[in-house]
């Protein structure tokens, strides 16, 4: 028989965890919006200067690449803070509040991907689609897809079915976004081909890894709420993938430029 006092303590811990995650998500999205607004006035990428160092060329290409719309991020930040308030006020169960937070995170991934898809490309028509999908990114996508599939049994039971459906849908959406990022054509905006290719590979790895991490994290937290025995393993998998993503993206960013 379940101890009511222990169940109450566990529920409160879940509620505070969702509150902390929602506050962190709101702050993160506000920072993204402010960063996007500050980059809006930067000049587009042009060809490499005669005496321009490699780091300056890469930074300029990176500034031109990051064309994330600010307004949607402010809206999503407000929704994230609203979810935090609802969780703190006990207005909704922790699983429902977490499902709402997953919706906000999935919406952010979609907004960023749509913005990138709409960015003008100067060379993608010539280069065609990207070369074969990076095997490392493919591994990340497969791991994220497996983590989303682990939620299917909770979709089939009555307890927290709606929350399970929402979280599963959000995890699947982030897996789809990750695959699209990993397999999309190169985003080349200017005339400095070498710098833009390095930025494209690094950005592709970073954004694919983050989308996969969010899919795994969404699954792991929901499984922990449900008392699943695989939740701890899923959390470790997510942390390991995030560390792998940071190291791999850093290595890609250190690729030397052609003169």
**Plot region of 160 (φ>0 → left; ψ -120 to 50 → alpha; else → beta):** left
pLDDT at residue 65 in the model: 56
Q: Are the C-beta atoms of residues 213 and 237 closer than 8 Å to each other?
A: no
- Please tell me the distance from the alpha carbon of residue 43 to that of residue 168, in angstroms, as a whole number: 40
Q: Is residue 258 part of a domain?
A: no
- Please tell me the distance from the alpha carbon of residue 66 to that of residue 208, in angstroms, as a whole number: 15
**Plot region of 119 (φ>0 → left; ψ -120 to 50 → alpha; else → beta):** beta
End-to-end CA distance of the chain: 71
Averaged over successive runs of 10 residues, the pLDDT of the chain (259 residues) comes to 58 80 84 68 49 55 60 84 86 82 83 70 47 88 94 81 88 92 75 70 88 91 85 92 93 70
pLDDT at residue 108 in the model: 80
Chain CA centroid to CA 148, Å: 15
Q: Show the domain range for 183.
A: 4-253
The secondary element (H helix, E strand) that includes residue 50 is none
The number of CA neighbours under 13 Å toward the Cβ of 34 is: 7
Instruction: Give the predicted TM-score (pTM) of the model.
Output: 0.77
pLDDT at residue 145 in the model: 95
Number of independent structural domains in the chain: 1
pLDDT at residue 51 in the model: 43
Q: Are the C-beta atoms of residues 37 and 85 closer than 8 Å to each other?
A: no
Q: Is residue 11 part of a domain?
A: yes
Query: 206: which 2 tokens?
Result: 């970073």
Q: Is residue 241 part of a domain?
A: yes
Q: Is residue 127 part of a domain?
A: yes
pLDDT at residue 242 in the model: 93
Q: Is residue 259 part of a domain?
A: no
């Amino acid at each position: 028989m379940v101890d009511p006092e222990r169940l109450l303590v566990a529920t409160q811990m879940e509620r505070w965890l969702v509150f902390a995650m929602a506050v962190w998500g709101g702050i993160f999205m506000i920072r993204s919006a402010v960063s996007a607004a500050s980059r809006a006035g930067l000049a587009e990428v042009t060809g490499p200067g005669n005496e321009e160092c490699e780091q300056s060329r890469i930074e300029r290409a990176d500034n031109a690449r990051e064309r994330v719309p600010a307004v949607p991020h402010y809206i999503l930040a407000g929704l994230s803070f609203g979810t935090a308030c609802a969780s703190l006020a006990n207005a909704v169960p922790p699983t429902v509040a977490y499902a709402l937070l997953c919706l906000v995170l999935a919406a952010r991934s979609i907004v960023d991907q749509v913005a990138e898809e709409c960015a003008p490309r100067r060379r993608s028509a010539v280069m065609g689609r990207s070369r074969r999908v990076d095997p490392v990114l493919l591994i990340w996508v497969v791991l994220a897809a497996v983590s989303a599939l682990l939620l299917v049994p909770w979709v089939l039971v009555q307890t927290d079915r709606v929350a399970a459906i929402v979280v599963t849908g959000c995890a699947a959406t982030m897996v789809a976004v990750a695959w699209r990022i990993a397999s999309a054509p190169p985003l080349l905006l200017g005339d400095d081909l070498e710098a833009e290719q390095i930025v494209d590979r690094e950005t592709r790895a970073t954004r694919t890894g983050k989308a996969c991490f969010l899919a795994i994290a969404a699954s792991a937290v929901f499984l922990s709420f449900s008392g699943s025995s695989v939740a701890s393993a899923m959390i470790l998998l997510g942390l390991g993938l995030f560390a792998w993503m940071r190291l791999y993206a850093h290595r890609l960013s250190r690729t030397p430029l052609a003169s």
